[in-house]
């Protein structure tokens, strides 16, 4: 840490949620004072993405009382948190950056515990466990990652890639309050390229690209509570952005992820089929359950969802877009990769769609056929093929999530 710079910057991007930000900020401030650190060791940076509510007034009021709070207002509005972060990381002065959501909650001892883990610069990346909060239903659910042994506090990894092989990287890194990383080792150029390819998960892929060879730490005991809004909120918002950019509605979860995977493969020299066999732990916000899925399954599932949801008229209307996305799959996933996942028949149908796309009848028939194949896809067969080719055991769905607490324990009881 340089003489004038803090050790830790907690960055909080926000837009039009001053009433929620107030509570989150109060909890962060409480944790700062609980830590009893020397003056200047920690700063909180609030990044305003063109809010039209009372966000600026709220933050400036806090700044008059707490000199460790900083404020930055973007010069132009950005469509998502990832791009907001990309254009504000250069305002962070800390040796480490801890990203945080404006609707997330910090345990009172969180900053002290994190500071003790980063003060000697042992780790490039820290990932924290969390409790999930379903905001609309005012309910808490079990930890994102659960262990049979409750005595586990930390898990250290010599290479971060091993951590990601165990827990995945797409979703665990998408939760802003779960990430604390060494600022100077973060690959900002890769992040910029990733955002240009696809907004969603660009930060997750950038963390993998930056720290996959570095020492990292998983903090098993939750230090934060991450708010989860309904899945439909995020899907609807980002789907509108995709359509405005002449893309299929689920692009950011299908072809977008595939493009980011290709970018990551180029950076890390890891084969794309290896990255596609990474297994993701996913929290389903709609049904409040946890399950696991291979990355290749995740990507294909969302692309097929677009095909299934588009009516025949829309299929014809969006023919060029569908062909463009299929070409992305064919370019990045060659025949052997499709075959290894037991999906060679989809590969052949994709090729025929491109070949005969000028024939509207044939094009529509072939897409409908793929929709029917995917609807009846045998996931067990896919898992068997993955296990056969890559010696990775298939996952089983985890139904252990249970209701454990109520929001009232944390909401509305925070002192100023």
CA 280 to CA 387: how far, in whole Å?
A: 16
pLDDT at 286: 57
Asked whether the CA dihedral 345, 347, 352, 357 is positive or negative, the reply is positive
Report CA dihedral (353, 359, 365, 368) to the nearest 10 degrees.
50
CA 141 to CA 206: how far, in whole Å?
A: 28
The per-residue pLDDT for range 204-258, each reduced to its tens digit, is 999 999 999 999 999 998 999 888 765 556 778 888 888 888 888 889 999 999 9
* pLDDT at residue 167 is higher than 80: yes
The DSSP H or E segment spanning 126 is strand 125-134
List the Cα angle 390/274/128 in 5-degree steps: 110
Question: Which position has the higher pLDDT, 400 or 130?
Answer: 130
pLDDT at 410: 28
Are 184 and 95 within 8 A, CB to CB?
Answer: yes
- Give the single-character DSSP code of 169: S
Question: Which position has the higher pLDDT, 209 or 147?
Answer: 209
Pick left, alpha or beta for residue 34 (phi over 0 → left; psi -120 to 50 → alpha; otherwise beta).
alpha
Q: If you compute the radius of gyration of the chain from its CA atoms, what whole number of angstroms results?
A: 22
Summary mean pLDDT of the chain: 81
Are 250 and 305 within 8 A, CB to CB?
Answer: yes
Q: Classify burial at 393, counting beta carbons within 10 Å of its beta carbon; exposed 0-12, middle 13-18, buried 19 or more.
A: exposed
* pLDDT at residue 276 is higher than 80: yes
pLDDT at 393: 34
pLDDT at 232: 57
Q: How far is CA 137 from CA 15, 23, 132, 186, 286, in A?
A: 22, 18, 12, 36, 11
pLDDT at 134: 64
Are 226 and 131 within 8 A, CB to CB?
Answer: yes
51-55, 63-67, 101-105, 363-367: least confidently modelled range: 363-367
Task: List alpha helices for 186-333, DSSP H.
Answer: 188-197, 202-211, 231-244, 255-268, 272-275, 295-309, 312-317, 319-332
Q: What is the mean pLDDT of residues 288-293?
A: 69
Are 99 and 85 within 8 A, CB to CB?
Answer: yes
The per-residue pLDDT for range 23-61, each reduced to its tens digit, is 999 999 999 999 999 999 999 999 999 999 999 999 999
pLDDT at 144: 63
Are 15 and 51 within 8 A, CB to CB?
Answer: yes
Q: Specify the CATH number of the domain 8-229+405-409.
A: 3.90.550.10
Pairing of strands 139-143, 125-134: antiparallel
Neighbours of 330 (CB within 10 A): 16
pLDDT at 108: 95
92-96, 119-123, 183-187, 357-361: least confidently modelled range: 357-361
Domain ranges of the chain: 8-229+405-409, 233-284+289-390
CA 389 to CA 277: how far, in whole Å?
A: 10
The residue written with tokens 């994190």 in the block is 114
Tokens of 414: 């925070």
Pairing of strands 42-48, 8-14: parallel
pLDDT at 316: 65
Are 37 and 94 within 8 A, CB to CB?
Answer: no
Are 245 and 127 within 8 A, CB to CB?
Answer: no
């Amino acid at each position: 840490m340089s003489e004038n710079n803090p050790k830790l910057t907690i960055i909080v991007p926000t837009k039009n949620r001053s009433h929620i930000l107030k509570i989150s900020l109060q909890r962060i401030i409480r944790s700062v004072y609980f830590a009893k650190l020397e003056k200047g060791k920690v700063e909180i940076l609030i990044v305003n993405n063109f809010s039209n509510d009372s966000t600026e007034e709220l933050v400036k009021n806090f700044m008059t009382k707490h000199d460790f709070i900083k404020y930055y207002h973007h010069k132009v509005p950005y469509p998502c948190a990832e791009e907001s972060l990309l254009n504000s990381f250069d305002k962070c002065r800390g040796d480490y950056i801890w990203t945080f959501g404006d609707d997330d909650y910090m345990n009172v001892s969180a900053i002290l515990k994190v500071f003790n883990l980063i003060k000697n610069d042992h780790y490039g990346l820290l990932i924290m466990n969390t409790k999930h909060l379903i905001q609309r239903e005012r309910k808490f659910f079990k930890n994102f990652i659960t262990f049979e042994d409750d005595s586990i506090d930390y898990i250290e990894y010599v290479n971060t890639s091993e951590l990601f092989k165990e827990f995945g990287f797409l979703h665990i890194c998408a939760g802003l309050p779960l990430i604390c990383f060494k600022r100077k080792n973060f690959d900002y150029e890769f992040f910029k390229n990733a955002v240009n390819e696809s907004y969603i998960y660009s930060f997750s892929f950038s963390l993998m690209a930056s720290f996959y060879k570095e020492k990292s730490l998983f903090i098993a005991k939750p230090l934060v509570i991450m708010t989860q809004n309904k899945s439909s909120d995020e899907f609807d918002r980002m789907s509108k952005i995709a359509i405005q950019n002449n893309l299929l509605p689920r692009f950011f979860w299908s072809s977008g992820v595939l493009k980011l995977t290709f970018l990551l493969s180029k950076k890390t020299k890891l084969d794309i089929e290896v990255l596609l066999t990474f297994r993701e732990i996913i929290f389903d916000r709609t049904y409040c359950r946890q399950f696991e899925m291979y990355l290749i399954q995740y990507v294909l599932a969302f692309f097929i969802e677009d095909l299934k949801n588009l009516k025949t008229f829309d299929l014809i209307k969006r023919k060029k877009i569908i062909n463009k996305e299929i070409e992305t799959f064919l370019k990045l996933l060659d025949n052997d990769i499709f075959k290894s996942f037991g999906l060679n028949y989809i590969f052949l149908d994709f090729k025929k769609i491109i070949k005969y796309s000028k024939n509207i009848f044939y094009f529509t028939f072939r897409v409908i056929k793929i929709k029917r194949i995917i609807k009846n896809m045998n996931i067990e067969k896919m898992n068997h093929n993955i296990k056969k080719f890559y010696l990775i055991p298939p996952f089983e769905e985890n139904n252990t999530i249970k209701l454990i607490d109520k929001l009232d324990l944390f909401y509305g009881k925070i002192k100023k």
